[in-house]
Amino acid sequence: MTNGAQEITDKLVSRQIKPSVHRMKVLEYLINNQNHPTVEQIFTRLKSEVPTLSKATIYNTLNAFVDAHLARVITIEDHETRYDHIIEDHGHFKCESCGAIFDFAISLDSITAAELDDFVINDKNVYFKGLCSRCRYKNQTDILKGECICKQTPSKV
Amino acid sequence: MTNGAQEITDKLVSRQIKPSVHRMKVLEYLINNQNHPTVEQIFTRLKSEVPTLSKATIYNTLNAFVDAHLARVITIEDHETRYDHIIEDHGHFKCESCGAIFDFAISLDSITAAELDDFVINDKNVYFKGLCSRCRYKNQTDILKGECICKQTPSKV
DNA sequence: TTACACATTTAGAATCATTATAAATAAATA
DNA sequence: TATTTATTTATAATGATTCTAAATGTGTAA
């Protein structure tokens, strides 16, 4: 499911971001690796392709993406800032035991609040915390500590 | 709406946290000031009552509260970690223009995901981002920058 | 009360993620 | 090509949080 360069360029341009080589690489990474990467993960990976890469560029780029609503920050505590390419209609679940983050489908349209009728809502976020099925049954507290296995769907784990 | 010492003690004990003087002060603050305070705000306020207070104590205490589900971290980006005494059935709205955080009522029970049937859900969080009514209409980008005026209900602003 | 054990708190150093700054590089334009 | 502008780099600065060891407080039993 590799995305073509044209698609990436179009996405950036449609959000008024000039498609520099590095920005394209970062967006491509986010689209093709929807595993809620940290800055560190993105940096390490892209550094191997572009050895001169600076971490500041990753920060700059991600901040620009967030401002432009091309990406969102998901912070389910722990000061491990992770980034998510914005795709509609999914929430996040974080297992308090193993630390894994799961995506799950949810209809964001159905989540409304009358009190906010006069507000403009640009972004809706839903996240749950608890125990994933694996930890619930096996109580394997130690395994997978901190690892993100979110490409697995919840039911598969 | 000041809470009695007994209530505070009970809350702590029920979560297996020994009710030291400082822990009681912090919990009391969270309950009586539901304005999503930062560590800095809590520290500054309590420091005036207890001059020997150390910031590390605030961190220790809040971490213990979060672990015990007595408080939650609300991180709607910006690396401004704020704490919220856990009360059921409210979501958070952050205005991207003025930075204010609003509470709004929401039925968390109605937010479900079939994929998570096998999971144990301990905590549900909902937050929206966008423009509050004031900024929407007046475009007063600069006012209230970073200030939390969340004790106002959305409709009143 | 005193002595002891144990938990809590303090102060400050250490860590780590993020941002700021200024120089260097690359891209765009004429 | 020369010139301007945007982007990226490298590193220093910042700031929030955690760690550590010493100090203080609390509870218990003699």
Give me the pLDDT at residue A35, please.
Answer: 84
Q: Which DSSP symbol is given to B4?
A: P
Side chain identity, residue A15 = R
Query: CB of residue A15 closer than 7 A to nucleic acid strand D?
Result: no
Q: Which of B128, B123, B125 is nearest to A115 (CA)?
A: B128
B38 touches strand D (CB under 7 A): yes
What's the average model confidence in pLDDT over B4-17? 92
Contacts of A83 by beta carbon, 8 Å cutoff, 6+ apart: A30, A36, A37, A38, A39, A42, A62, A65, A66, A71, A72, A73, A74
Name the residue of chain A whose CA is nearest to B153's CA: A115
Q: Alpha-carbon distance A64 to B31, whole Å? A: 37
CB of B31 within 8 Å of a chain A CB? The answer is no
Mean pLDDT of chain B: 84
Mean pLDDT value of segment B33-43? 91
- The C-alpha atoms of residue A131 and residue A96 are separated, in whole angstroms, by 6
Q: Kindly tell me if the per-residue pLDDT of B31 is higher than 60.
A: yes
Given a cut of 50, is residue A153 above it in pLDDT? no
Residues 82-101 (B) with a CB less than 8 A from some CB of A: 91, 93, 95-96
- Please tell me whether any atom of strand D lies within 7 Å of the Cβ of B116: no
B contacts of A131 (beta carbons < 8 Å): 119-120, 122
Q: Region B76-89: what's the mean pLDDT?
A: 81
Task: Specify the pLDDT at position B3.
Answer: 63
Contacts of B124 (CB under 8 A, 6+ apart): A126, A127, A128, B108, B111
